[in-house]
Structure 1
Amino acid sequence: MVGLPTLPDVGAAVDRVLATAQNGLEVLRFGGLDTGTEPAPFNVVETAKMFRLRRYFPETPNTGPQILLVPPMMVSANVYDVTEHNGAVSVLHRAGITPFVIDFGSPDSEEGGMERTLADHIVAVSRAIDVIIEATGKDVHLAGYSQGGMFAYQTAAFRQSKGIASVITFGSPVDVLAALPLGLPPALVVPSAELLADKVFNRLWVPGWMARAGFQLVDPVKTARSRIDFLRKLHNRDELLPREDQRRFIEAEGWVAWSGPAVAELLRQFVVHNRMMSGGFVIDGDLVSLTEITCPVLAFVGEADDIGQPQAVRGIQRAASASAVFESRVPVGHFGLVVGSTAGAHTWPTTSEWVLWQAGLGPRPPLVEEMRDELDPHGSGVSLSSRITHGIGSLADAGGGVSRELLEMANSLQRTTRAVAQESVRTVPRLFRLGQIQSGTRISLGKLMSENCKRAPDQELFLFENRVLTHSDVNTRIDNVVAGLVACGVRPGEHIGVVMDTRPSALVVVAALSRLGAVAVMLAADGDMREMLRLSDSSVVITDPVHLTEATGVCDRVLVLGGGSGGSRSISAADGTSVIDMEQIDPAEVQMPTWYRPDPGLAGDLAFILFTRSAGQLAPWPVTNHRFAQSAFGAASAAGLTDRDTVYCLPPLHHASGLLTTLGATVVGRSRIALSNGIDPDTFTAEVNRYGITVVSYTWTMMREVVRAEGFRINQHNPIRLFMGSGMPVGLWNDVMECFPRARVLEFFATADGAAILANVSANKVGSMGRPLPETNPLEVAAYDLERDRLVIDDDGFVRKAAVGEPGLLLARARHRFDTSATVLRDVFNRQDRWEVSGQLFVRDVDDDLWFLGSVANIVRTCDGPVFIPPIEAILSSMDAVDQAVAYGVGELGRQVAVAAVTLRPDHRAESLTVTQLRIALGEFAAEQRPHLIHIVDEIPLSDAYRPVAAGFANRGLPRPGSKVWYRDSEGRYRRYTRSAAATMGWSMESGAGGNAPAAGSR
């Protein structure tokens, strides 16, 4: 018998329809189903403008450890109490821990809420910690979810871990640009974030519904699936109730508004500039770095988290280098880290165990391990298996059969293309502007700073002694100093001496003189200032209190600026000297004359006067606004400076590296300028971290004070990417690269008149001066007869270009007549061309890179022919035992003796420098190109720009024979220099340059 089909259970179907309708009506009326659960009890123990501090389970004695939970800006503080049994506060309480939660409220319903900044939240968390410590007498474990975890890190750094037992975070990114949400490329996100921060969120705010929508759009497939699943099960109340509190929180109740300024600051500091990694972010006017976190850290990592991606979260290990950093991996996405069954079973019990372990009340949690910062060059740290397991993968994620090699090739091409595009966006506009400058173009330091202020007035500019000055602050100060200068009778075009330490006030003075149209004469405190003032036709000096005595000793009219204007300030004048304390001038009382026009400087106008010394003679180095722009724009382009850089300005402003390369390039790049109190290894390490230094400027041996200091240590994940300056010895260059393997050295060279500007941009040839900067004057090396001191002429009557490897004279094409101050030759290589004579000798290699041989005036002219000083100093400085080296000539021209003086590193003795080492080191030179004598000295004096000075040795004549002196024999080998050897060589042992020439024919 054939069985009849089973009839549907009509009653069950009707019951299902009725249950669906009933439950649906409840959802429509009340927003969800009544689960019968109650939130955990709490009291508000502190109420402030920014927050309310909740203490949960107030009836329980407060005897255990304390924990403060911080929510993200856009999520309700109830996120830590979403479910009755699995919620954070309940699990922590059951473990004997007292939970506190900081509630920022919803900014759209709080007085002044829409004006809240990111710093306001950090200060609020810090205040809440103080309240808990005052009430309990115990340090606090600080924990935060997502952006709340970022707040926790930032607060711990802001407080330098004071009062914080540990930091615990849940899906909180640190290295934001290493793995952006959804795998978005930084090249797309950073410009967009910058635009939103500067143009959108400074005017608008984000309502709660938009925050919710944004979170759901991160994974629209999962959101849609959850809603469909809810509708399918709407008839089955028992199946929905366990997840109903969580659903209601995500769908409606859990979201609050974001204030526009806070979002803008978040985007600018921690997305665009990624300053959680680099340091140097600003909280309540203080500079902060995560390196100042010293307490233990536990980071929960969501293995399928596409918002706080694992690679971004693990950045904390590199950023908080002074902390012991641990992690706990959880197989969930972003929200599942803190809410849901996995959070109740893994996150919060592990957090409780961690807190008890840190308090000495329990063992190390089994699910906690030391963090290993395993950088994934091809992804975010979210594995494919995790994506598929948690329902957010697709066939496209699996690669569709595309091989790993092809993917890596595509990624490499994308990264290369992006890098080229970014560099073009930065560089092309600068070089285009530089190429458009004519004699009548308005361009000056003051104008560039004014433009930057209009573009971003609230962006930081100067960082000094943990203080922050914005573009607006600095611009106001510049205008005030201009008013003071006018009150003191300074007029446009007047030459004004400046002798000041490299401090904000010094940079402001230089910019103020530029804005006024006066000429800043940059004086060196350790130089002949009286002669400098005479050569520059200056009768007024601006100084700081530190150099007041020196200034009044050389000038009758002195203006003092900087050092504050408090009651303890004492400015006095010597007899016959006029001293004006400009800090006492009220700029509001100054009547500006009708002739005053801000930033009147034209390209052809004189802007600065620096000084150089050639053949022992002091000479002025006039710098027009165009020369300044050439150096500034060229250096900014070569260094790739942007507003995401913080440049550590160490050189004195009277040196070209300080004024042109550092100050000029930094202003062009719109970078931050960090200033220091001195060159000290401990200060250097602290300020690199605190300020977030990405670029360090230097002169000569300046970095020796840091990298060769005993016990110098620095976090290898420090943010420094570049050292830029001039004059660094080859040996020191190698040491810097060894200490900072992720950075490179960008060495600049400029001729005394600024006509030629070179840079070793590729940085792959230590010691090379590189090539001309783009849009600066074209250069050529002309063949030069060193014996007759003249250019070599070819058969056609033109100057011959030097061949590869042939020493020659550097010439710069004279393209602008308005800023040419050197000797200009015409019809040099072709008809009607014009070339400036530099007086500097170079040799070109097969790659067209230039190597410096010194100036014509400083060649050591021996009986065997010319000897070049810079190559000798470079080779000797690179020897393992040598600390510093200088070379110089002694005696009459044509019969000079080439001498080199070296100091040894502290861990080497005189015996460690052998004749074999000297022979090997100098072996690449022909015998006649090597120094006649090499001697060890105790110390080589340095100028205030850290340049080794050989003049004192040259004035003392030849070194006396001894165990620390070697001479070059007739075959080019080195031997101990004894009295008998000196007699054999025919050199006088008397002091003084006049009697130290070698005997005729001696070698």
Structure 2
Amino acid sequence: MVGLPALPDLGGAFDRVLATAQNGLEVLRLGGLETGTEPAPFSIVETEKMFRLRRYFPDTRTDGPQVVMVPPMMVSANVYDVTEQNGAVSILHRNGITPWVIDFGSPDSEEGGMERNLADHVMAVSRAIDLIIEATGRDIHLAGYSQGGMFAYQTAAYRRSSGIASVITFGSPVDVLAALPLGLPAGLVVPGAELLADKVFNRLWVPGWMARAGFQLVDPVKTARSRIDFLRKLHDRDALLPREDQRRFIEAEGWVAWSGPAVAELLRQFVVHNRMMSGGFVINGDLVSLTEITCPVLAFVGDADDIGQPLAVRGILRAAPGADVYESRVPVGHFGLVVGSTAGAHTWPTTSDWVSWQEGTGERPPLVEEMPETQDPHGTGVSMSSRITHGLGSVADAGAGVSRELLGIATSLQRTSRAVAQESVRTVPRLLRLGQIQSGTRISLGKLMSENSKRAADKELFLFENRVLTHAQVNARIDNVVAGLIECGVRPGSHVGVMMDTRPSALVVVAALSRLGAVAVLLSSDGDGDIPEMLRLGECLTVVTDPNHLDVAAKHSDRVLVLGGGSGESRDIDSADGASIIDMERIDPDAVTIPSWYRRDPGLAGDLAFILFTRSGGNLAPWPVTNHRFAMSAFGAASAAGLTDRDTVYCLPPLHHASGLLTTLGATVVGRSRIALSERIDPETFAMEVHRYGVTVVSYTWTMLREIVRTPDFRVNQYNPIRLFMGSGMPAGLWSEVLESYPRARVLEFFATADGSAILSNVSGDRVGSMGQALPETNPVEVAAFDVVRNRLIIDGSGYVRKAGVGEVGLLMAKARHRVDTSSTVLRDVFIARDRWEVSGHLFRRDAADDLWFFGSVETVIRTSTGPVYVPPIEFALSQVRGVDQVAVYGVGEPDQQVAVAAVTTRSIAGKSESLTVSALRIGLGGLPAEERPHLIWVVDEIPVSDSYRPQASRLARRGVPKPGARVWYRDPAGRYRRYTRNVAAEANWSGFDASEQASS
């Protein structure tokens, strides 16, 4: 008998349709299926404008460990209580821990919520911590998910870990640019983030639905798949209920709005500037760095997390070197770190065990390990196997894969080519503007600062003593000082001395004088004896000073204006010693009548802007700087250093030095960078402020970095943000040690002639001691053949000056392109007919790579009976000798009969000076011809330095030829060094100089 086909189960199909309809109707009506679960009990223990503080399970005792949990801005505080059994608060409570949750609410329904910024959230967390400590008498464990973990890090740094037993984070990125969501390249994301921060989110806000959509778009394939899976199982209520609370949270209930200012600040500080890593972010007006976190840290890392990617999360190890940092790896994506079955089985039990371990009541959890130091710099930390295993979408996979491939190609290019590509966008416009400046162009320091204030009014400009001043605040202060100067009788063209420490008030005074059209005469207080001569040469009858230099200024000037150092009401500044002293802090700028002649920023390129001072033949000489010369240095240095508003420049040189005024202040204003100022230069302050300010560029002069680099116990985080040291005069030995101490940084050494006609820089930074080449768009330079003995240019057979050959020492000359902008000697018809060249007075040698090497000025050449001896090559060689600390080379005696003396100090280790051997001297000076080595090498206790840290050889030269002794060596006829004894001194005749007389004295 043939069997009949089985009939379909119509009753079962009907039941499925009916169940689907019933469940679908419930979803449409209620937003989801009714699960019957209840949220964990909590009470609101404090309500403030920014937050409500929840204490869960309020009926239980609170004498155990306390955990404070912080949600992200865009996620509801209920994220820690999504599921009844696996929720964070329930698991922590079952383990004897009191859970507290900070509820920021939804900004769009809170009073003033849409004006909230990041600092408001951090201050709210800090305030909640204080309330809990006050109520319980215990330090707390601070936990945060995603951006809530970033808040936790920032709060711990802001409080310097006070009251915090440990920090626990879940998928919270620190090195944001190391691994952006979807593997997007930073070079693509950063400009877009900056544009959104400055042009979009300062006007708009992000509603909750948009935050939800953005989260889901991170993996659109997975989102679509989960929704289809939900619809396919809609008939099976029992299969859906275990995950229904989690689904409803993700699909609808878990999202809140973002305020525009908070989003803008997030993008600006922690994406564009990546200041979680570099430091120097601003909280409530204070500068903060994660290096100030000292409590233990546990970071949960999602193996498949494409938002808080492992590489970005692990940045905390480098950002917080003072903390013990641990991690726990979880095989989930971003949301699964805190919600779901894996979180219930791994994240929250491990968190409980961590708290017990930190409280001393348990062992280290088995799933917690020390965070590894070695990281893959080219990946994100999310492996392909993790993506496949945990179901992340193929679109995300493709995006990440392509991005990493592109990044791999980019990093394979040569460093110089990459640098050119990165810098061209911002460098070319600067150089074009510099090239277009004519004598009648309006350009000045004051005008540049006015332009910056219009473009970036609310961005930080000055960082000093943990205080922050924005462009707008500084600009308003400049205008107020201008009003005060007008009230004190200062007019355009007036020469006004400035004698102040490198503080914000000093920079404001210089900018105010520029805005007024007056001339700032920068005075050094290093040595009272020079000040009257500076005032005479600078033609200034008025001096602006700070309280620290008031006595010195009043001693030498009849009219002194005092600015800075605090409010005029709290200090007593009166006229003394016949001088007229005016406290400018007591002048009300609003009460000053601005005269009709005042024109804001009137300076033209050809106008005199500043007067610095230099020494020529031991005598002070004025160094006039026009607005054009200032612009050449400022634009050129900013381009060479690649400065942008993402840089923070640590300004160490005094303003009266060219490195302080031109290279640092000028270049940072052009680059719109932040300027960090310091009251002192010592290793401890340097290490602290580099991280607190987020310093990326350090400016210096001469031996300024010596104590910082060579102090035996000096320690700085190896992951510090410094990328560049820029300045002038650094000895070669110190230069090499700086590169060794900061292997990720380079040294950018500038050289400028006294009149600013030639500006050189070793832009590549890969040749220690080289001055490089002329900066683009500054005056071209040439090395002319020069007879040092006869002190004259060498003429070739055609009657023109011969250009010096490769390796030949000659005279540096700068092509004169602006007729009205020079104070030096200008020669015509030099190399060809009708050319014009400015004579620098400095000697250089050009090498085969076209780089220039400094051989001193014509006046510093030591003229011995056997020929010229150049100072810089000796200092270059000796500074690299093992055990040598400082070097100063000088000549003693009459011209053509001089003795070349090299004074050196030796380094001290544990209070004991290192020994200096003849072998070390022979090897160190071996590259110089015997006749160009010093006659005597003298180990001295100290080499005096100026306030710009330049070794002052003139003070040693006044002491004459050193006396014979165990710390002096002389050069024998073969060029070797031997001990300088009384017998040698009695018999020697150093190039005609009678040493026996010195030996017997």
**Quick check: TM above 0.5?**
yes
Deviations 1:79-132 (A, max 9, x none): 000000000001111111000000000000000000111100000000000111
- How many angstroms apart in 1 are the aligned matches of 2:119 and 2:987? 76
**Cα separation, partners in 2 of 1:505 and 1:361, compared to 1, 3 Å:** same
Q: What is the letter of the counterpart of residue 40 of structure 1?
A: A
1:956 counterpart SS class: coil
Deviations 1:922-951 (A, max 9, x none): 111111000000111000001010000011
Deviations 1:448-500 (A, max 9, x none): 00110000111010011111111011001000000000000000011111110
1:940 and 2:943 aligned:
yes
Corresponding residue for 1:728?
730
- How many angstroms apart in 1 are the aligned matches of 2:159 and 2:872? 49
1:592 and 2:594 aligned:
yes
Corresponding residue for 1:857?
859
1:604 and 2:606 aligned:
yes
- How many angstroms apart in 2 are the aligned matches of 1:614 and 1:401? 62
Contact 2:862 2:869 in 1 (8 A): yes
Please state how far the C-alpha of 1:5 moved relative to its aligned partner: 2.3
Contact 2:568 2:586 in 1 (8 A): no
- How many angstroms apart in 1 are the aligned matches of 2:468 and 2:53? 31
Within 5 Å, which residues of 2 pair with 1:453-852?
A: 453-527=453-527, 528-852=530-854
1:183 and 2:183 aligned:
yes
1:532 counterpart SS class: helix
Deviations 1:593-624 (A, max 9, x none): 00101100000000000000011011100000
Corresponding residue for 1:147?
147
Corresponding residue for 1:120?
120
Q: What is the letter of the counterpart of residue 818 of structure 1?
A: V
**Cα separation, partners in 2 of 1:410 and 1:925, compared to 1, 3 Å:** closer
Within 5 Å, which residues of 2 pair with 1:190-229?
A: 190-229=190-229
Please state how far the C-alpha of 1:995 moved relative to its aligned partner: 7.4
Corresponding residue for 1:83?
83
Deviations 1:853-905 (A, max 9, x none): 00001100001100000111111111111110100000010000101100010
Contact 2:945 2:951 in 1 (8 A): yes
- How many angstroms apart in 1 are the aligned matches of 2:703 and 2:411? 41
Contact 1:139 1:165 in 2 (8 A): yes
Question: Equivalent pairs: percent with the same residue?
Answer: 78
Please state how far the C-alpha of 1:391 moved relative to its aligned partner: 1.7
- How many angstroms apart in 1 are the aligned matches of 2:453 and 2:443? 15
Within 5 Å, which residues of 2 pair with 1:306-325?
A: 306-325=306-325
Please state how far the C-alpha of 1:50 moved relative to its aligned partner: 0.3
1:973 and 2:952 aligned:
no
2:958 counterpart SS class: helix
TM-score normalised by length of structure 2: 0.97
Moved over 6 A (4+): 398-402, 404-407, 414-418, 908-911, 988-991, 993-998
Q: What is the letter of the counterpart of residue 181 of structure 1?
A: P
- How many angstroms apart in 2 are the aligned matches of 1:666 and 1:121? 31
Corresponding residue for 2:270?
270
Corresponding residue for 1:874?
876
Please state how far the C-alpha of 1:420 moved relative to its aligned partner: 3.7
Contact 1:934 1:965 in 2 (8 A): yes
Contact 1:753 1:821 in 2 (8 A): yes
Contact 2:496 2:544 in 1 (8 A): yes
Contact 1:71 1:147 in 2 (8 A): yes
Please state how far the C-alpha of 1:689 moved relative to its aligned partner: 1.0
Q: What is the letter of the counterpart of residue 721 of structure 2?
A: P
Please state how far the C-alpha of 1:820 moved relative to its aligned partner: 1.2
Contact 2:906 2:915 in 1 (8 A): no
**Cα separation, partners in 2 of 1:671 and 1:30, compared to 1, 3 Å:** same
Task: Report how many aligned residue pairs link the two structures.
Answer: 997
Contact 2:183 2:400 in 1 (8 A): no
Corresponding residue for 2:56?
56
1:817 counterpart SS class: coil
Please state how far the C-alpha of 1:977 moved relative to its aligned partner: 0.5
Corresponding residue for 2:933?
930
2:962 aligned residue (951, 954, 959): 959
2:379 counterpart SS class: coil
Corresponding residue for 1:327?
327
Please state how far the C-alpha of 1:627 moved relative to its aligned partner: 0.4
**Cα separation, partners in 2 of 1:738 and 1:861, compared to 1, 3 Å:** same
How well do the aligned residues superpose, as a CA RMSD in angstroms?
2.1
Contact 2:281 2:287 in 1 (8 A): yes
Q: What is the letter of the counterpart of residue 33 of structure 1?
A: L
Q: What is the letter of the counterpart of residue 559 of structure 2?
A: R
Q: What is the letter of the counterpart of residue 50 of structure 2?
A: M
Deviations 1:250-286 (A, max 9, x none): 0000000000011111111000100000001000111
2:726 counterpart SS class: strand
Q: What is the letter of the counterpart of residue 585 of structure 1?
A: I
**Cα separation, partners in 2 of 1:989 and 1:351, compared to 1, 3 Å:** farther
- How many angstroms apart in 1 are the aligned matches of 2:419 and 2:579? 57
Corresponding residue for 1:1001?
none
Please state how far the C-alpha of 1:913 moved relative to its aligned partner: 1.2
Deviations 1:555-612 (A, max 9, x none): 1111111111254312122232111111111000000000101100000000000000
Deviations 1:753-795 (A, max 9, x none): 1000011111111111111111110000011011111111111
The runs of 5 or more residues in structure 1 that have no matched partner are 999-1003
- How many angstroms apart in 1 are the aligned matches of 2:6 and 2:775? 89
Q: What is the letter of the counterpart of residue 285 of structure 2?
A: G
Q: What is the letter of the counterpart of residue 268 of structure 2?
A: R
Contact 1:891 1:994 in 2 (8 A): no
- How many angstroms apart in 1 are the aligned matches of 2:57 and 2:562? 63
Please state how far the C-alpha of 1:390 moved relative to its aligned partner: 1.4
**Cα separation, partners in 2 of 1:565 and 1:817, compared to 1, 3 Å:** same
- How many angstroms apart in 1 are the aligned matches of 2:707 and 2:378? 39
- How many angstroms apart in 2 are the aligned matches of 1:666 and 1:105? 41
1:912 and 2:928 aligned:
no
**Cα separation, partners in 2 of 1:380 and 1:343, compared to 1, 3 Å:** same
Contact 2:899 2:991 in 1 (8 A): no
**Cα separation, partners in 2 of 1:486 and 1:406, compared to 1, 3 Å:** closer
**Cα separation, partners in 2 of 1:624 and 1:684, compared to 1, 3 Å:** same
**Cα separation, partners in 2 of 1:610 and 1:159, compared to 1, 3 Å:** same
Moved more, 204-213 or 980-989: 980-989
1:819 counterpart SS class: coil
**Cα separation, partners in 2 of 1:724 and 1:487, compared to 1, 3 Å:** same
Deviations 1:799-839 (A, max 9, x none): 11101100000000001112111000111111111100000
- How many angstroms apart in 2 are the aligned matches of 1:221 and 1:398? 12
- How many angstroms apart in 2 are the aligned matches of 1:444 and 1:398? 51
- How many angstroms apart in 2 are the aligned matches of 1:997 and 1:612? 35
Q: What is the letter of the counterpart of residue 690 of structure 1?
A: R
Q: What is the letter of the counterpart of residue 157 of structure 1?
A: A
Contact 2:16 2:235 in 1 (8 A): yes
Corresponding residue for 2:366?
366
Contact 2:66 2:98 in 1 (8 A): yes
TM-score normalised by length of structure 1: 0.97
Please state how far the C-alpha of 1:920 moved relative to its aligned partner: 1.1
Contact 2:182 2:400 in 1 (8 A): no
- How many angstroms apart in 1 are the aligned matches of 2:579 and 2:61? 74
Please state how far the C-alpha of 1:996 moved relative to its aligned partner: 7.0
Within 5 Å, which residues of 2 pair with 1:131-142?
A: 131-142=131-142
Q: What is the letter of the counterpart of residue 703 of structure 1?
A: L
Contact 2:297 2:325 in 1 (8 A): yes
- How many angstroms apart in 1 are the aligned matches of 2:400 and 2:543? 73
Please state how far the C-alpha of 1:641 moved relative to its aligned partner: 0.6
1:949 and 2:952 aligned:
yes
Q: What is the letter of the counterpart of residue 754 of structure 1?
A: G
Q: What is the letter of the counterpart of residue 655 of structure 1?
A: H
**Cα separation, partners in 2 of 1:868 and 1:990, compared to 1, 3 Å:** closer
